[in-house]
Structure 1
């Protein structure tokens, strides 16, 4: 009887762990296939785009606020997103994304602080973008994984939430609101 109880408790614990881990999984881009308005990155990120954002730690505490001014341009299937960040502490940062539209909603990209190739896909009103970011922290550089989701709300506004992890541990989130200039 005692062995059956241990086996049952062990099985319940395993099930709880699996359920908890599956709760951390990202949604599938396919879930957004029918959502409108349809996001076309080449149309949205073409011209000037402004963004306002926050970085929150794993407990939800706002660590930094920032603004971004983006100059975006596409030529054929190649795009440049030139981003100028200004943080609440006065520091500034620049990131220049070089994107390639591979067709069928698939995009790849590089940037100076991105390790390797960023890969993403659009479906419906959503874009999921995954990459490794070389993040300077207190005199060292951490390679953190970004699971970045963008949701087109209308022709001018897009919301963005990116989950940052290291070795599977949730470090924090970046939340942004983009607005295309008219």
Structure 2
């Protein structure tokens, strides 16, 4: 019984610690995904393991195209070790204002919400690691700084255990 109470308390505290995107509703500039993720963009980022060590650095060239409430975001990654990767997202605004997204290496459907200058999005990614494929959870948060810059921080976990974080700086020329 004592163990169950401790587990329940930990889950409750973890839920309180997670940031709800609605708290950014009044923040400016307001983020419009179809405006910001339209045309050519670039991003620079890194993956840090749970100890904070930078494991991978990368550059991303992106092109977004929209037709109504549906957009395609073509991401082309170049990693510091010379390897490359491509992910093509299809993003769709739902009638309630929320967002859904799909990509070939995303398991199921990504779901997200915009409020003010912030976008919170969660999904499961199939990630190749040492010849195997891991399915990891991503808790992804983006913040529009101005009309050219958006910052992104994503926490990667598996079975509720944090594996590391991704920090990304988007730039729209």
TM beyond 0.5: yes
| Residue matched to 1:177 | 169
Could you tell me how far apart the structure 2 residues matched to 1:102 and 1:165 are?
27
Could you tell me how far apart the structure 2 residues matched to 1:168 and 1:18 are?
12
One of 159, 162, 165 as aligned partner of 2:154: 162
| Cα shift at 1:120 | 0.4
Deviates more, 1:118-127 or 1:25-34: 25-34
* Per-residue CA distance 1:4-24 (angstroms, 9 max, x = gap): xxxxxx79x939x63895288
Structure 2 residues not aligned, in runs of 5+: none
One of 82, 85, 89 as aligned partner of 2:81: 89
SS at match of 1:71: strand
RMSD: 2.1
* Alignment CA distance shift 1:148-1:170 (3 Å): same
Q: What are the equivalent positions in structure 2 for 1:1-182 lying under 5 Å apart?
A: 14=6, 18=10, 21-22=13-14, 25-181=17-173
Could you tell me how far apart the structure 2 residues matched to 1:25 and 1:95 are?
31
Structure 1 residues not aligned, in runs of 5+: 1-9
Could you tell me how far apart the structure 2 residues matched to 1:108 and 1:161 are?
19
- Asked which structure has the greater CA Rg, the reply is 1
SS at match of 2:147: coil
Aligned residues, how many?
Answer: 171
* Per-residue CA distance 1:10-43 (angstroms, 9 max, x = gap): 79x939x638952884200111111111000000
Report the TM-score, using the length of structure 1 for normalisation: 0.88
Could you tell me how far apart the structure 2 residues matched to 1:112 and 1:39 are?
26
Could you tell me how far apart the structure 2 residues matched to 1:22 and 1:126 are?
21
Report the TM-score, using the length of structure 2 for normalisation: 0.92
Deviates more, 1:73-82 or 1:17-26: 17-26
Contact 1:117/1:131, CA 8 A, preserved across alignment: yes
Deviates more, 1:23-32 or 1:171-180: 23-32
Contact 1:119/1:131, CA 8 A, preserved across alignment: yes
